[in-house]
Amino acid sequence: MNLKILKIPFRAAAAATLTLMCAVAAAHGISDEDKQRMLEGGYLQYVGLGATHMLTGYDHLLFLFGVVFFLTTFKDVAKFVTVFTVGHCITLIFATYLKITWNYYLVDAIIAASVIYKGFDNNGGFQKHFAMASPNLLGAVFIFGLLHGFGLSTRLQQLPLGDDPVAMLGRILSFNVGVELGQIAALAVMVALLAAWRKRPSFTRFSYAANLALIYAGVYLLFMQLHGYQHDVNPDGFRFPTEEHKHIHEDMDIKNSTDPTRNKL
């Protein structure tokens, strides 16, 4: 396979990447409006939020894009997606029900690392840099599915789930159904576009570049989440004026992690 990278004007590529990453930075949060709707609504509210959360969860979508990138048959797509789905259902349901949680910035940082891993693997990184075969892909997808589910769980646990064990389980399962519906919708678009693109000569020329972009996106997400973690554990360590800093932290609840007495340089 010819993995020659098509030359793309740097400024255009940088602008496109920045636009995408700004959307990524704003995604994946649970707003106060969503929390209020959960209090006032029923199970369908959780289904809708689960679907929306998956469709705006760019780290999950980027990982899935990497998983299906080179899969050419429906059987293979179904096999890998099923393994991923089983993995994230396990941790989403059980971790939420048992109230097992961790700092969600660190969980999302690990999810970002899974995006880097998939792009690296797709570009033959293990063969090129370590002279070894790729780790078992099904096993890797299952393990990362568990991690992605834990990430979903940390977000779901920000919502009011109630104290009734049966009702709480119903809300968790409803959210999970929404996640699956969102995942199916996103995958349908991804697989259709990749199938059409794979028939064109540009797929061979761009496949390496596309997965390299996947790695860069994962690196960006990783640093964004680590930066958010620093805000979370050391809110007084940042001396930027609030108004200048918070526009890139729409998902970081910056108003709760800023000392107003230090808003001057």
CA dist 121 and 57 (Å) reads 22
pTM over 0.75: yes
User: Could you list the pLDDT tens digit for every one of the 265 residues in the chain?
Assistant: 443 333 443 344 344 444 444 444 444 456 677 666 666 668 888 899 899 989 999 999 999 999 999 999 999 999 999 999 999 999 999 999 999 999 989 999 999 999 999 999 999 999 999 999 999 999 999 999 999 999 999 988 888 887 889 989 999 999 999 999 999 999 999 999 999 999 999 998 899 999 999 999 999 999 999 998 988 888 776 555 444 555 555 555 544 444 444 344 3
Distant-in-sequence, close-in-space partners of 129: CB < 8 Å, separation ≥ 6: none
**What is the number of alpha carbons within 13 Å of residue 167 lying toward its C-beta?**
9
Instruction: Please state, as a whole number, how many other Cβ atoms lie within 10 Å of the Cβ of residue 40.
Output: 7
Tokens of 110: 């690990």
